[in-house]
Each structure stands twice: as C-alpha cells, then as structure tokens.
Amino acid sequence: MKEATYIWRDGELIKWHDATTHVLSHTLHYGNGAFEGTRAYMTDKGLAIFRLKDHCKRLLDSCKIVAIACPYSQTELQNAHIELLKANKNDYTTNVYIRPLVYLGYGVMGVYHVNAPVHTMIAAWEWGAYLGEDGINNGIKVKISSFVRNPIKSSMGKAKVPANYLNSQMAKYEALACGCEEALLLDDNGCIAEGSGECFFIVRNGMLITPPQTHTLESITQASVIEIAKDLGIEVVIRDITRDEVYIADEAFFTGTAAEVTPIREVDFRTIGSGTAGEITKKLQAEFTKVVMGKNPKYAHYLTYID
Ligand code: PMP
C-alpha cells in the first residue's frame, strides 16, 4: 500500500508508523467496531471528498447500532477528515481512499464491550481501481457464494462493522480460489443480497434492477447510481432478484465506494450479455465519473474540496 505522512487518531495527527495499537485491543479479539470507506477524487480543483457527510453519518449510525459511544460529533468527524487530507496534501497526486475506524482499545477483556476505551482513527492513502483496471474497463468474473449473507436474525448489516466482514472475507476467498474476481452473496431466502463489499445491479430490457436493502449495507454509491440513472431517464426498479435471473440479464455490475461502477462479464461461468461492459453500465459509469470528478454541477453539493 502507498503510505502517507500522517494518520489522524483521537484528535491528533500522528506519523503513519506510530499509529499502532496494543495486541490486547478489544476490537482485535471480538470484532466490534465501526468503519467507513470513503473516496476523495483528484478533480481539476484539487482533491474533493465524495459524500463526506453521508459517510460520517453512516459511521455514527454504525456506532449506534453496535452500542459504541463515539466521542466525536458528525461535524468533528468531517473536520478531522479534512484536517488529515490537508496535512497529507503533498503525498497525494491521484485519487485517495479514506478509512475511518472507531475501535475498542486496551484495558478490558471479555465479551462485554461497554467498558473498553473507544478510539477513533482516520487513514487515507492513494488507491486505484479496487477490482483492477481491466475489471473496471472490461468487467469481472463473479461467483455466487456458498456463503449466505449474514442473516438479519443474527447480524446487523446496516452497521459497517469489522465482525460482519468475516462473511465477506470467506466469500471473497472462495470466489478467488475458483478463479473469479468477486463473490455475490444470496440472502437466507435465496435472493441476491450483495457482493462482499459492493451492491449489485442488473439491466433487463433497458430497465435497471437492484435488490432492496433488507440484507445489505445502506450503500451510498447505490443511491448515487440510482439518482444518476433517473437523471438519464433510465427506469429503476428495486425488487428481489433470483440467481437464474442474473444469468439471463443483459448487463450486470457492482457499485461501491471502492469498486465504483465495476461491470460484470461472467457469473458462475455463464457469460452476461455480450461478455463485456454493457451499454447502460458504461453510460452510468461515465456519468458517475463526471459526478465524482466535479463535472456535473447538479451534484456539486456531494463534494468537499480540500484547499
Ligand atoms: N455492501 C458492503 C458489504 C460493503 O462493504 C460496501 C462498501 N462500503 C457496499 C455494500 C457499498 O457501499 P458504499 O456504496 O456506501 O461504499
């Protein structure tokens, strides 16, 4: 990974390599915490964080769900992001991925987490296409996972919490071992839920279809893509999708902060559409890029410029 000079932790900027933690930190053992994945884009007017407010709001929502008292307000978190990117400005020449994490530190062991100290950190480094440059241009190979998405009766998928990602990690591991690039997980009713770190869309007869958020994170990119699609006059339907419907879709793609808009060319060794990025996918991808790069004035309010 490409290191930067500073990491923000508990209100201070510290050197990248000083941002260490004790081996008995509570989160390390029991997996509770809350994190975000946010991107800043190198626009013509410098670095701009995409939907910073929404990401900070979701971070605090995640904390609330898992009963962690984050010591910072949404405004303080937003300002901390800006402070960090300003401090690291000379380290960045291209797009940046930002990872805030609220975690439980050292001092208390045992499952009961409430007395563990709460720490907050933010790191930001240059990171290119999450699923590869070739993937973002030509599409990726996807495997429907043998792992069911964390069921809502025992997990809380609206919280972006480290523990939830064991399910994602095992699905991704399996998909890569099978020669694919990403996993697609079903919910416990057998309908499509989401990718290991992305939301999912198909296109059928010109219509954009995406699953409801019952079994998924409340994805910020999914919401942006739906908004953009409506602008382009594309009909958007939110409903359940079955595995066999994916196989016969005209197009399919993933969305996420890391994955952006990544076309899917194959699912379970069946070619999707023409076997490359579909027309509507490409249109949405191009428009999404315009939005995050500050080239669509309608979406200017989603960008926080770092000057
Ligand atoms: N689902 C999961 C499980 C994720 O980890 C992510 C990435 N944060 C997403 C969906 C996409 O969410 P977003 O568009 O807000 O990044």
pLDDT digits (tens, 9 = 90+) for 153-173: 999 999 999 999 999 999 999
Ligand 1 closest atom vs CA 223: 14
Q: Is the CB of 216 under 6 A from ligand 1?
A: yes
- State whether residue 306 is helix, strand or coil: coil
User: To the nearest whole percent, how much of the chain has pLDDT over 90?
Assistant: 98
Q: Is the pLDDT of residue 150 over 90?
A: yes
Q: Is the CB of 262 under 6 A from ligand 1?
A: no
Q: What is the pLDDT of residues 208-227, one digit of tens each?
A: 999 999 999 999 999 999 99
Q: Is the pLDDT of residue 128 over 90?
A: no
Q: Is the pLDDT of residue 116 over 90?
A: yes
Q: Is the CB of 219 under 6 A from ligand 1?
A: yes
pLDDT given for residue 108 in this prediction: 96
Which domains can be identified in the chain, with CATH numbers?
6-126 (3.30.470.10), 133-293 (3.20.10.10)
Q: Is the CB of 263 under 6 A from ligand 1?
A: no
In contact, 196 and 168? CB cutoff 8 Å: yes
Average of per-residue pLDDT values in the chain: 97
Q: Is the pLDDT of residue 136 over 90?
A: yes
Pairing mode, if any, of strands 182-186 and 199-204?
unpaired
Which protein residue's CA is at the shortest distance from atom 3 of ligand 1?
A: 197
Q: Is the CB of 194 under 6 A from ligand 1?
A: yes
Average pLDDT estimate for 272-279: 96
pLDDT given for residue 160 in this prediction: 98
- State whether residue 6 is helix, strand or coil: strand
Residue 55: which pLDDT band, with cuts at 50, 70 and 90?
very high
Average pLDDT estimate for 15-31: 98
Residue 100: which pLDDT band, with cuts at 50, 70 and 90?
very high
Ligand 1 closest atom vs CA 164: 3
Average pLDDT estimate for 248-264: 97
Segment among 4-8, 63-67, 129-133, 257-261 with least mean pLDDT = 129-133
> Could you confirm whether 141 is annotated as catalytic?
no
> How far apart (Å, rounded) are the C-alpha atoms in residues 55 and 204?
31
**Greatest CA span in the chain, whole angstroms?**
57
Q: What is the pLDDT of residues 188-209, one digit of tens each?
A: 999 999 999 999 999 999 999 9
22 C-alpha to ligand 1 centroid (Å): 28
pLDDT given for residue 38 in this prediction: 98
297 CB-near residues (< 8 Å, 6+ apart)? none
User: To the nearest whole percent, how much of the chain has pLDDT over 70?
Assistant: 100
Q: Is the pLDDT of residue 132 over 90?
A: no
Q: Is the pLDDT of residue 299 over 90?
A: yes
Strands (E), 51-171: 96-104, 118-126, 140-144
Q: Which of 143, 158, 160, 172 is catalytic?
A: 160
Average pLDDT estimate for 1-14: 97
Ligand 1 closest atom vs CA 54: 15
pLDDT given for residue 91 in this prediction: 97
Q: Is the pLDDT of residue 129 over 90?
A: no
